[in-house]
Amino acid sequence: MRLFAFLRASPHIYKRKRKRRTPPVASSHTTSPHRHRHRHRRASSNMPKRLQMGAKQGNAGEDGKGLQVVADDGSGVTASAIAASYDDQIRPLLDAVDRLRHLKVTQEGIQLPTIVVVGDQSSGKSSVLESLAGISLPRGQGICTRVPLVMRLQDDPSADSPKLQLEYSNGRVVSTTEAKVADAINAATAEIAGSGKGISDAPITLVVRKRGVPDLTLVDLPGITRVPVQGQPEDIYDQVAKIIKQYIAPKESIILNVLSATVDFPTCESIRMSQQVDRTGERTLAVVTKVDKAPEGLLEKVTMDDVHIGLGYVCVRNRIGDETYEQARVEEERLFKYHPLLSKIDKSMVGIPVLAQRLMQIQAAIISKCLPDIVKQINDRLSRTSAELDQMPQDLNNVADAVRVFFHIVKQVCNSLEKVLVRGDFDEYPEEREFHGTARIAEMLSGYAKKLPVECPRNSNELFLMEEVRILEETKGINLPNFLPRSAFLVLLKKKVETIDQVPQDLVNGVWEYVENLVMKILLKHSDNFPQMQSPCRRAVQTLMDKARARSAQHVKELLAMELVADYTANPDYMKTWSEIMEGYEKFMEAVEDNSKPSRITLEGFGEVDVSHLRARYADLAGKAFDLRARLTAYWKSIVLRLVDGLALHVLLSVKLLVEKDLEDELGNELLANKFAGVERMLAPSPSTGTKRERLKKSIVLLRESKEVVANIMDRISAASEI
């Protein structure tokens, strides 16, 4: 973006001016220009290209009254030029984001670019923030930060003295001083999270207007601890982890991970958490503290980068003991310049001033990247919310209006149901599979067909044809010996049909349960603005579904009864299958009548069978038993086909009638039966509707204010681009 052209034009080094009484310390940047540029390239390699806007750090100062800029060629550039560019272009962006955060636009699901500070307990997280802000934060045993602390640091060159204030989420503002800020934060924390050691996710904001502080907004979160101390809840780790993940998960968040040099980086819990949401590390910057306590191997740690920190490392020395912040910066510079091990770390990776500069660069880049999307999200959300408010019902003045609205809602419900249950049109619910009615019913019908046995059910433990033999013995009569009794076939058919009679009943029960749930959900959705009418409508739907279930149950009984009335089919496949099976009749009879032949034979339609038990006692009935089984095996295919097709067509027709006629009639009958009592209840204002209307109005006010904030910023950007 041209907005940040002044940053990309030449990388700069911000350094504070020294007090005259402090002897000047030679800067490591006064070496040759070639070495200077080489060091800058190495430092920049730790950052994405879009953030390589200059990371070299000069000498640290003390009084913070001004910034001196050193360009790549070593020439001095007046602070006023860069400050003017910053104040004109970047500072308004940061103020706009802070204004959006103050408006709580995040409650509307719009994420804001944020620098989130995380770290294990005792990692030095608070000390880093103190060094950046030049103020003292609460200290103590255990977790010091018990609520999210939004720190808004604002450089105010004209400020004779620092101005600090705490802003609560309810809008209350409390002014404080540097000397009392720690107590003020503790008091605010106790008010929000209690006086014990518990934590809360409700944030407080600390605004620091002070000469020389970096223009930054950071969110300090509770330190990570696995073992609760006395007074802390047992699940303190889970509570802290939940808050941290809530803040670092959005892709708009930059993670400032504070690590102690005394620990192995891969074992840090804060590293593990940040890697869960930022696997590549592209939005994670690491700050290494306590470097004076563990200098051995630190250079390798920050250059090897075993934990994938995409935005690089900055090593710092925080204030020790009674040092002033100015003294701490001087000691920090000396440490990294003269320590035999720490002096080997590239100067673009050390010092609080470098950290401040790096954070401002990252902040500018992430805001410029996210701003267009924020504008789009605000506009989209405002349009949707306004449309939703416009769709809210007007107050009804008389019964005629209520009746008109009632039948309008019923018509909407029927139209939606016709789409999803009859036409297979899911444009209203593209991602909600439960509303794809035709597909779900088709799945049920397919499952029903698979549950019906393809072959005629048999007792696998019974000897071949013995069931048929027993039935033939019980149905024999005075007739010609070569005739197959029809009664035997019907008795056997009845037994087989009875084994599957529950399967079609289960299907219709499942279909109507699904349809009832679907009708209820769509009805409640369309009548959401009139909850008074939902109770009578629910009764009407339940009554209608009971009738539908009863009709389908009766239809299933009739289907099964029809199969037992007569052994009939016009399906030519019956004769074809029977003929194919009967081709093995002679082979079967030879095996039964000739004891010299093998008793185990393979027959078409039956597979391998044993006939030894038929040879002696049942040889005279074996032929009829074989024919009986052949007929039933061939006929079974027709039975299954009729049960599947007949019930499927019944279900589809019943659903179609319910949607196109029955539902509207039943809802109308419910209305008339109660003498318009349900409609009269619609005239009374609904508390839930009123609450929803007020919520939408508040959202629209918030979004309009947010839109005005970003519109003003975009206008300034456009104006700056034209210059």
Mean pLDDT of 136-144: 68
Tell me the torsion sign for CA atoms 152, 153, 157, 160: positive
With a cut of 90, say whether residue 659 has pLDDT above it: yes
Partners of residue 70 on adjacent β-strands:
76
CA dist 462 and 473 (Å) reads: 17
With a cut of 80, say whether residue 378 has pLDDT above it: yes
CA dist 428 and 337 (Å) reads: 66
Q: Which residues contact 719 (CB under 8 A, 6 or more apart)?
A: none
Closest to 421 (Cα-Cα) out of 650, 648, 656: 656
Q: Which residues contact 431 (CB under 8 A, 6 or more apart)?
A: none
Q: Which residues contact 666 (CB under 8 A, 6 or more apart)?
A: 540, 541, 543, 544
Mean pLDDT of 327-341: 91
Residues of the chain with CATH 3.40.50.300: 2-380+711-722
Instruction: Report the C-alpha dihedral over residues 361, 362, 367, 368, rounded to 10 degrees.
Output: 60
Q: Is residue 288 helix, strand or coil?
A: strand
Token pair listed for 34: 């070639």
Mean pLDDT of 339-355: 92
pLDDT in tens, 213-241: 888 889 999 888 877 777 778 888 899 99
**CATH-assigned architecture of domain 2-380+711-722:** 3-Layer(aba) Sandwich (3.40)
CA dist 57 and 77 (Å) reads: 15
Closest to 112 (Cα-Cα) out of 122, 100, 129, 102: 100
Phi, psi of 114 (to 5 degrees): -145, 140
With a cut of 60, say whether residue 469 has pLDDT above it: yes
Written as one string, the DSSP assignment of 119-171 is EBTTSSHHHHHHHHHTS-----SS-S--S-EEEEEEE-TT-SS-EEEEE-TTS
The pLDDT, as a whole number, for residue 676 is 60
With a cut of 80, say whether residue 68 has pLDDT above it: no
CA dist 502 and 515 (Å) reads: 20
pLDDT in tens, 248-271: 998 889 999 999 999 888 889 999
The pLDDT, as a whole number, for residue 635 is 95
Confidence tier at 713 by pLDDT (50, 70, 90): confident
Token pair listed for 89: 């272009």
Instruction: Report the C-alpha dihedral over residues 607, 611, 613, 619, rounded to 10 degrees.
Output: 130
The pLDDT, as a whole number, for residue 678 is 57
Q: Is residue 293 helix, strand or coil?
A: coil
Between 255 and 52, the higher pLDDT residue: 255
CA dist 288 and 9 (Å) reads: 30
Closest to 490 (Cα-Cα) out of 592, 407, 568: 568
Q: Check residue 2 and report its DSSP letter.
A: G
Token pair listed for 56: 């070299």
Written as one string, the DSSP assignment of 573-613 is HHHHHHHHHHTTHHHHHHHHH-TTS-SEEEETTTEEEE-GG
Confidence tier at 390 by pLDDT (50, 70, 90): confident
Residues of the chain with CATH 1.20.120.1240: 399-684
With a cut of 80, say whether residue 531 has pLDDT above it: no
CA dist 343 and 332 (Å) reads: 11
CA dist 493 and 495 (Å) reads: 5
Confidence tier at 5 by pLDDT (50, 70, 90): very low
pLDDT over 70 percentage in the chain: 82
With a cut of 90, say whether residue 497 has pLDDT above it: yes
Phi, psi of 363 (to 5 degrees): -60, -45
Backbone angle region of 646, left / alpha / beta, with phi > 0 → left and psi within -120 to 50 → alpha: alpha
Tell me the torsion sign for CA atoms 468, 473, 477, 480: positive
The pLDDT, as a whole number, for residue 48 is 38
- Diameter over CA atoms, the chain: 134
CA dist 301 and 33 (Å) reads: 28
With a cut of 50, say whether residue 190 has pLDDT above it: yes
The pLDDT, as a whole number, for residue 387 is 87
The pLDDT, as a whole number, for residue 396 is 66
pLDDT in tens, 407-440: 888 899 999 999 999 999 988 898 899 999 999 9
Mean pLDDT of 533-553: 91
The pLDDT, as a whole number, for residue 549 is 96
- Given a contact cutoff of 8 angstroms between Cβ atoms, the answer to whether 286 and 313 are in contact is yes
Token pair listed for 167: 């802003």
Mean pLDDT of 543-560: 95
CA dist 698 and 199 (Å) reads: 29
Q: Whole-prediction pTM value?
A: 0.55
Residue 549: CB atoms within 10 A of its CB come to 18
Written as one string, the DSSP assignment of 682-697 is HHSPPHHHHHHHHHHH
pLDDT in tens, 607-651: 999 999 999 888 889 999 999 999 999 999 999 999 999 999 999
The angle subtended at Cα 592 by Cα 590 and Cα 596, nearest 5°, is 75
The pLDDT, as a whole number, for residue 374 is 85
CA dist 704 and 709 (Å) reads: 9
Partners of residue 77 on adjacent β-strands:
69
Residue 32: CB atoms within 10 A of its CB come to 9
The pLDDT, as a whole number, for residue 45 is 39
The pLDDT, as a whole number, for residue 39 is 37
pLDDT in tens, 285-327: 999 999 998 889 899 989 888 888 989 999 999 888 888 888 9
Q: Which residues contact 102 (CB under 8 A, 6 or more apart)?
A: 167, 205
CA dist 585 and 634 (Å) reads: 15
Report the mean per-residue pLDDT for the chain.
Answer: 81
Strand order in the sheet with 313-315: 173-176, 163-167, 204-210, 149-155, 216-220, 114-119, 253-260, 284-289, 313-315
Which of these CATH numbers, 1.10.645.10, 3.40.50.720, 1.10.3720.10, 1.20.120.1240, describes 399-684? Answer: 1.20.120.1240
Q: Report the residue count for the chain.
A: 723
Mean pLDDT of 183-209: 87
Closest to 711 (Cα-Cα) out of 379, 462, 457: 379
Confidence tier at 404 by pLDDT (50, 70, 90): confident
CA dist 132 and 126 (Å) reads: 10
Closest to 283 (Cα-Cα) out of 305, 314, 255, 304: 255
Mean pLDDT of 77-81: 41
- Given a contact cutoff of 8 angstroms between Cβ atoms, the answer to whether 138 and 145 are in contact is yes
pLDDT over 90 percentage in the chain: 38
pLDDT in tens, 82-126: 444 455 566 777 778 888 887 778 778 888 888 999 998 888 888
